[in-house]
Amino acid sequence: MSEESASRTGDDGTGESGAVCDGAGESGAACDGGPEVRRLADWDADTLLDLRRQYGSPSYVLDLDRVRENYRRLAAAFPDAAVHYAAKANALGDVFEALDDEGAGVECASAGEVVRALDAGVPSDRVHYTAVNPPAVDLDTVVELWTDGVAADLTVTVGAEDTVARLATRGYDGRLCVRVNPGVGAGHHEKVQTGANAKFGVPRDRALDVAETATQAGMDVVGVHAHAGSGIHDADDLDAHREMVARVGDVAREFDAAHDLEFVDVGGGLGVPYREADAPLDLDAVADATRDALGDVDAQLVVEPGRYLVADAGVLLTDVNTVKETPDTTVLGVDAGMTTLARPAIYGSYHPIRNVTAGGDGRGEVRATVTGPICESSDVFAEDRPLAEPVRGDVLAIGNAGAYGYEMASNYNTRPRPATAVLEDGSASLARRRETLSDITTLEL
């Protein structure tokens, strides 16, 4: 594997941060974009152990240089498109700032994400607020930001005619995008396949009527939007994505006669290989399929990647506190749990796991079940997973944790959320301190 600008000096094939790339990586990717995928084995063990010593356990680590690499690779595959980062994957301010430096916009699923993007310095003309059955407080916040001029140029995407009426009641007559339900979904789990779910978007045969209602209320209809789902990775998913894009292209052409569209937003959902043997997403194939399916539309293409930009840029570090031999497996208890990383409990998701303490010291291998401290049988990160033989005090790294990790963390069992450290230009810093019990209880009256 070629040297990554985001990696650290070590014995496992990674190079120094900032090292000059002397050719394409094993994937054939250009240097600026880095290799197509970073595996958990590519993280330097000494660096991870040092971060554990500095910031405690459990802690998230996010490599901002890798986020930039992922963005550049995607932007090269979609040279004529605007890239808007789906903030729900990881709404850390440092991520917004890094991607803003690269020229990315931000797609926000809540008013809170809008505020955080603006606070990070993202210009409002690159902020899209995708309102899905928005609570009143969300609409109040966003419209107030727009009225005050803080977000004068943001775009609100609506998926229901009700939302148009609620915006009009609040005096909003700014930029509007209509989200269409394409009737076809895709993704890694049924819970994230949005394209065919009635919750999301306006039925295609009602989209133009909703746009007319918005125009009559004085709003400027500037785009149409659709999204198939999250974690699109295999051929079947790509076929569904292609069909979704074709359908939203048809809607955009229907809009042409009545509205001067600036953009057609085909969502995100680009997947990453969580399992070690899975191949990277064929990004060029996705880009080609997207352009071909969209067809001739007189508007700019917008894509909204989330996990693709941040997933392999992050790991979760956690200490082993219990090693228990049972007739069926070796149970490893760690101090992270489903409150720290919820994806395995919610979706049955696979995350690679590595014993970084045991690297290179000749330990044997065991089949282990890695569990957290939560009193729930769902609090399991892996079952029967081969790992270097553990002892209490070892540090495990859980890979591909940069997306939907901290964002989905909770205080269940009154457990404080972890710290987050960031790596950038060869140095580490604390981006978000660890919560304390008093942080949790301070809201009680």
Cα–Cα distance measured from residue 390 to residue 329, given in angstroms and rounded to the nearest whole number: 13
Closest CA to 84 of 109, 102, 107: 107
Instruction: Tell whether residue 306 is among the known ligand binding residues.
Output: yes
Task: Kindly give, in sequence order, each residue whose CB lies less than 8 Å from that of residue 125, ignoring residues fewer than 6 positions away.
Answer: 153, 154
Cα–Cα distance measured from residue 134 to residue 157, given in angstroms and rounded to the nearest whole number: 11
Instruction: Tell whether residue 376 is among the known ligand binding residues.
Output: yes
- For the cut 50, the answer to whether the pLDDT of residue 44 exceeds it is yes
Q: pLDDT by residue (tens digit) across 101-131?
A: 999 999 999 999 999 999 999 999 999 999 8
Instruction: Tell whether residue 343 is among the known ligand binding residues.
Output: yes
Instruction: Tell whether residue 269 is among the known ligand binding residues.
Output: yes
Task: Kindly give, in sequence order, each residue whose CB lies less than 8 Å from that of residue 394, ignoring residues fewer than 6 positions away.
Answer: 319, 320, 355, 356, 357, 358
- State the chain's mean pLDDT as an integer: 88
Closest CA to 266 of 235, 296, 243, 233: 243
Catalytic residue status for 375? yes
Q: Give the CA dihedral 281, 282, 288, 292, nearest 10 degrees.
A: -60
* 328-333 contacts at long range (C-beta below 8 A, 24 or more positions apart): 329/367, 329/368, 329/369, 329/383, 329/384, 330/366, 330/367, 330/368, 330/369, 330/390, 331/368, 331/369, 331/371, 332/368, 332/369, 332/370, 332/371, 332/387, 332/390, 332/396, 333/371, 333/372, 333/373
- For the cut 50, the answer to whether the pLDDT of residue 26 exceeds it is no
Give the domains, in start order, of the chain with CATH numbers: 1-64+310-445 (2.40.37.10), 65-309 (3.20.20.10)
Closest CA to 285 of 34, 81, 78: 78
pLDDT of amino acid 6: 32
Instruction: Tell whether residue 360 is among the known ligand binding residues.
Output: no
Q: Which of 18-22, 149-153, 191-195, 269-273 has the lowest mean pLDDT?
A: 18-22
Cα–Cα distance measured from residue 30 to residue 288, given in angstroms and rounded to the nearest whole number: 18
> Per residue, what are the HEC states of the chain?
CCCCCCCCCCCCCCCCCCCCCCCCCCCCCCHHHCCCCCCHHHCCHHHHHHHHHHHCCCEEEEEHHHHHHHHHHHHHHCCCCEEEEEHHHCCCHHHHHHHHHHCCEEEECCHHHHHHHHHCCCCHHHEEEEECCCCHHHHHHHHHHHHCCCCCCCEEEECCHHHHHHHHHCCCCCEEEEEEECCCCCCCCHHHCCCCCCCCCEEHHHHHHHHHHHHHCCCEEEEEECCCCCCECCHHHHHHHHHHHHHHHHHHHHHCCCCCCCEEEEEECECCCCCCCCCCCCHHHHHHHHHHHHCCCCCEEEEECCHHHHHHHEEEEEEEEEEEECCCCEEEEECCCCCCCCHHHHHCCCCCEEECCCCCCCCCEEEEEEECCCCCCCCEEEEEEEEECCCCCCEEEECCCCCCCHHHCCCHHHCCCCEEEEEECCEEEEEECCCCHHHHHCCCC
Q: pLDDT by residue (tens digit) across 54-70?
A: 999 999 999 999 999 99
**pLDDT band for position 23 (50/70/90)?**
very low
Q: Which amino acid is at 306?
A: G
Query: Does the N-terminal peptide bond of residue 203 adopt cis geometry, omega within 30 degrees of 0?
Result: no
Q: pLDDT by residue (tens digit) across 243-264?
A: 888 888 989 998 887 888 999 9
- For the cut 60, the answer to whether the pLDDT of residue 189 exceeds it is no
**pLDDT band for position 230 (50/70/90)?**
low
Instruction: Tell whether residue 144 is among the known ligand binding residues.
Output: no
**pLDDT band for position 269 (50/70/90)?**
confident
Mean pLDDT along residues 138-150: 98
**pLDDT band for position 232 (50/70/90)?**
low
Q: pLDDT by residue (tens digit) across 340-375?
A: 999 999 999 999 999 999 976 788 999 999 999 999
pLDDT of amino acid 9: 29
Considering the candidates 21, 31, 108, 375, report the single residue annotated as catalytic. Answer: 375
- For the cut 80, the answer to whether the pLDDT of residue 191 exceeds it is no
Structure tokens at 128: 């899209």
Q: Which of 202-206, 313-317, 324-328 has the lowest mean pLDDT?
A: 202-206
Instruction: Tell whether residue 55 is among the known ligand binding residues.
Output: no
- For the cut 70, the answer to whether the pLDDT of residue 223 exceeds it is yes
pTM: 0.89
